Amino acid sequence: MSDQEILKVTDLYKKFPITKGALLKKEVGSVNAVNGINLTLNESETLGLVGESGCGKSTAGRVILRLLEPTSGKVEFDGTDITALSRSELVPLRSQMQMIFQDPFSSLNPRHTVGSIIGAPYEVQGIKPAGGVKNAIRETMERVGLNPEHFNRYPNEFSGGQRQRIGIARAVTLRPKFIVCDEPVSALDVSIQAQVINLLQDLQDEFGIAYLFVAHDLSVVRQISNRVAVMYLGHIVEQASRDDLYTHPYHPYTHALLSAVPVPDPKVEAKRERIVLRGDLPSSINLPSGCVFSTRCWQAQDKCHTDVPELQDMGNGHKVACHFPIMEFLGTTLITGPDSGVTAQPDRVVPPPSEVLQSLQSGRATRPKGIDYAEGEKPI
Amino acid sequence: MTFLSVTDLQVSFSTEDGTVKAVDGVSFNLERGKTLAIVGESGSGKSVTSQAIMALHTGRGTTVSGQIELNGTDIVTASEEKLRSMRGNEMAMIFQDPFASLHPFYRIGSQLAEAVYAHRKVSKKEAKAEALRMLNKVGIPNPEQRIEDYPHQLSGGMRQRVMIAMALINGPELLIADEPTTALDVTVQAQILELLAELQAEFNTAIILITHDLGIVADKADEIVVMYGGRIVEQAGLHDLFYKPQMPYTVGLLSSVPRLDSAGNRLLSIGGQPPSLINLPTGCVFNPRCAAKNPDIAPRCESERPELREVGENQFVRCHLDEEQREKFATTRLAEVLEGE
């Protein structure tokens, strides 16, 4: 991993308009898929983008590659603002940024041979590799663990895991600097999933590729990422280095997410408490006012329903958008601690944010008392 | 008497490419109030096994043999009439995709009421009251209004709740949950698993939980059956399976799953692909992918199908390796995973 910044996303918005009427289309509202996200990505770094379905993580990935047009905001790739480029100006840049899709069945053309699928980028970009296209394709196939003799086969002759390797081979054909991986392992069996994760890591080590790894599986994201951003309703609510995020998250939503993932270890499982969130994700057509998580947050106060929390840096690049960040490092106890499970607190007093911030700045991080983790109730 | 006992279950389908033995010699028992998890990858036969218990294999070219005794009734030989009275009443099933399993044209209230009519002589009003009671029980907010909704008006988690309500409305003693949370988000998954556990405690239901997620297994199962290539390759209680796994495949699974509570060591993946059921490898079905195979034993692994044998209290394994070899493989593999934590 180097410090060379390769991608910078500033204040990115994506709205899908909802129209009424056949001829004179009137805009009656919009689905607010991505609402002002900021991201940076360094060379050979992996940034995990996690969240539940409908949180806008896949849309964000596509907008960043300009497969979808952003509503507003800036995406700088290698110093160039790609949102200002025309379609034809974008083509040469495409050799540097690629995508791997979730579904290894629908993302490969069934009428093309594996060789022509993997070699398509050469044709599109008009690049002639030394030693011939065929040899270059064979080399790439070998690199991703496919048998180069299968050059002339069709995708339906391969299993799910092998098809995902074909998709990966296509993405790395031109040795890009940046790949958006959209749920690349969620359609695969457990034993195959591990193979593909290892392959992605090896390719990164070898070619120095930066990944934006979009996924809903928090265990997989922990395995592969250097940094992690958590999305909820189109907003990034928390962003930190991997270990910081998993061992001491600040945002209540991150706590809830982490506590909901079962761990394959019965002794650990028996000691964990779940934060069960009440209700469903609100619609992204009518976003909640104030903090987007306030409708499901068990510690929401009046302020949370009116004021939008800004992403604030809590130190060490750990950013959180919450008026009342959870200060006690529940993460460690919640996830790995054998004897300090989270229990319900008897008294429910939440200190005002000024106090929380003050104690934070003075280095005495204390946690607001009175969070009932058993249920998603609001404190009195 | 055992509540559910499956003995030497065989299911095969005849296809254009030949006969597919999807399930071969599966046996297990299950008591009331307990949860049995069936774990395996796609094509391992876990869903086919559960469908056989519900007697859903009625298609032409499908043969089911062996014994499935539920409360003393053999399901394999029972008449269709008898089966109709048992399905929904004594045994029920929830599926992975709640959208595909609810009828899109009927209100959820009438779909729930239908399940009541099918088994009880009740008035329309009583059936509706029953539907309402069940919706309440599974935690649907405003059930009085929701009962008039169509499936598309509900979210995925809500639909799965409706499915559970429908499955449990007649108080079945056996519930088969086939990947009940795979299509749901983690926070919703947690809600649904909690709900199942609560209802299980209330009705003393036996649950067969089919899943590929070892985390859910660790959280909810009492007993576990690991399937591979249509066969049971290991069967054990919860703690034995996770802390004393015997079968190299189980060890491989445990060491290839990324864990929420451990930081990125390289995953020890199982090489190769799951076998094709039409063209199973000779000998042990797992042998082409087995990392524990050594030159001394390899000829046997490649030629002779191992039997399922008892290796501990209620622990069974289908492997030619002896105890010492199995243990050595398991401890070194799992130690490699834990290394550096």
Residue A332 has pLDDT above 70, yes or no: no
Residue B213 Cα, gap to closest chain A Cα (Å): 8
Q: How far does the CA of residue B41 sit from the closest CA of chain A (Å)?
A: 6
Interface test with A, best of B186, B217, B220, B228 (most A CBs within 10 A): B186
> With a CB-CB cutoff of 8 Å, which residues 52-81 of chain A face chain B?
52-53
Query: Minimal Cα–Cα distance from B304 to chain A, Å?
Result: 25
Q: How far apart are CA B62 and CA B42, in angstroms?
A: 19
3-state class (DSSP) for residue B21: strand
User: What is the average pLDDT across B321-339?
Assistant: 84
Does pLDDT of A340 surpass 60? no
Report CA A57 to chain centroid distance, whole Å. 6
Q: Which residues of A touch B261 (CB under 8 A)?
A: 246, 263, 265, 268, 335-336
Where does the pLDDT of residue A361 fall: very low under 50, low under 70, confident under 90, or very high at 90 and above? low
Distance CA B3, CA B29 (A): 8
Residues in chain B with CB shorter than 8 Å from the CB of A162 are 273
pLDDT band at residue B19 under the 50/70/90 scheme? confident
Interface with A, mutate which of B261, B266, B268, B285 (most A CBs under 10 A):
B261
Residues 223-242 of A with CB under 8 A from B: 223-224, 242
Answer yes or no: do B263 and A222 touch at CB < 8 A: yes
- Residues of B with CB below 8 A from A268's CB? 218, 261
Judging contacts by C-beta atoms under 8 Å, the chain A residues touching residue B266 are: 198, 201
Give buried/exposed letters for A159-173 (b at 16+ CB in 10 A, else e): bbbbbbbbbbbbbbb
Which percentage of chain B shows pLDDT scores above 70? 98
Mean pLDDT within A138-151? 92
pLDDT tier for residue A26 given thresholds of 50, 70 and 90? confident
- Across A94-102, average pLDDT: 93
SS3 (DSSP) at B6: strand
What secondary structure does DSSP assign to B144-208, as a single string?
HHHTT--GGGS-HHHHHHHHHHHHHTT--SEEEEESTTTTS-HHHHHHHHHHHHHHHHHHT-EEE
| Token reading at A222 | 């922990």
For chain B positions 216-235, those within 8 Å of chain A (CB to CB) are 216-219
So what's the pLDDT on residue B268?
Answer: 85
pLDDT recorded at residue A298: 85
Task: Please state the rounded mean pLDDT for residues A25-49.
Answer: 92
For residue B182, what pLDDT is reported?
Answer: 83
Shortest distance, CA B215 to any CA of chain A (angstroms) = 4
How does B125-149 read in b/e, with b if 16+ C-beta sit within 10 Å?
A: eebbebbbebbebbbbeebeebbeb
Reported as a pLDDT band with limits 50, 70 and 90, residue A344 is: very low
For residues A186-197, give the mean pLDDT: 88
The one-letter amino acid code at A259 reads: S
Evaluate if residue A373 carries a pLDDT over 50: no
Q: Phi and psi for B289 in degrees, rounded to 5? A: -110, 0
Give me B244's structure tokens.
């004393």
How confident is the prediction for chain B on average, in pLDDT?
90
Q: Helix or strand or coil: residue B335?
A: helix
Q: B157 vs A256: CB contact, 8 Å cut-off?
A: no
Of A8, A266, A301, the closest CA to residue B37 belongs to A266
List chain B residues with CB under 8 Å of A198. Answer: 266-267, 269
ipTM: 0.83
Distance from CA of A248 to the nearest CA of B (A): 12
Confidence (pLDDT) at A186:
86
- Residues from chain B that touch A53, judged by Cβ atoms under 8 A, are 156, 185
pLDDT tens-place string over residues B153-181: 888 888 888 999 999 999 899 999 998 88
| pLDDT over 60 (residue A333) | no
pLDDT band at A374 (very low <50, low <70, confident <90, very high): very low
pLDDT in tens, B199-220: 899 999 999 999 989 999 999 9
CB < 8 Å to A219, chain B: 215, 257-260
The rounded distance, in Å, linking the Cα atoms of B124 and A217 is 44
C-alpha distance from A306 to closest chain B C-alpha (Å): 25
CB nearest to B155's CB, from A260, A268, A280: A280
Report the pLDDT averaged over residues B180-200. 86
Nearest residue on chain B to A257, judged by CA atoms?
A: B187
B 147-176 residues inside an 8 A Cβ radius of A: 155-158
Tell whether B263 lies on the interface with A, counting CB pairs under 8 A.
Answer: yes
Mapped onto helix, strand or coil, the DSSP state of residue B316 is: strand
Under an 8 A CB cutoff, do B274 and A191 touch? yes
pLDDT tens per residue, range A205-249: 999 999 999 999 999 999 999 999 999 999 999 999 999 999 889
**Residue A276 sits at the chain B interface (C-beta within 8 Å):** yes
Over residues B270-313, the pLDDT tens digits come to 888 888 888 889 999 999 999 888 888 889 999 999 999 999 88
E strand or H helix at A75: strand A72-77
Determine whether the interchain pair B190/A274 forms a contact, defined as Cβ–Cβ distance below 8 Å.
Answer: yes
Q: Which of residues 64-123 of B touch A (CB under 8 A)?
A: none
Instruction: Write down the mean pLDDT value for chain A.
Output: 84
Best residue of A146, A247, A261 to probe chain B, by most B CBs closer than 10 Å: A261
The DSSP output letter for B308 is P
The pTM of this model reads 0.84
- Name the token pair of B201: 């405690």
Torsion over CA of B186, B188, B193 and B195, rounded to 10 degrees? 160
Q: Which of the four pLDDT bands, split at 50, 70 and 90, describes residue A328?
A: low
Q: How far is B212 from chain A (nearest CA, A)?
A: 7
Q: Do A219 and B257 touch (CB under 8 A)?
A: yes
Interface list for B 171-210 with A (CB within 8 A): 185-191, 193-194
**Alpha helices by DSSP H, chain B:** 46-53, 80-86, 108-117, 124-137, 143-146, 156-168, 186-203, 214-220, 238-243, 248-256, 298-303, 323-338
Q: Give me the pLDDT at residue B90, please.
A: 92
Interface membership of B236 toward A (CB under 8 Å): no
Res B139: pLDDT: 83
Which chain A positions have a beta carbon within 8 Å of B273's beta carbon? Answer: 159, 161-162, 192
Question: Judged by CB atoms within 8 Å, which residues 291-350 of A form the interface with B?
Answer: 335-336
Say if CB B256 and CB A194 are below 8 A apart: yes
Cβ-Cβ contacts under 8 Å, A260 against chain B: 186-187, 189-190
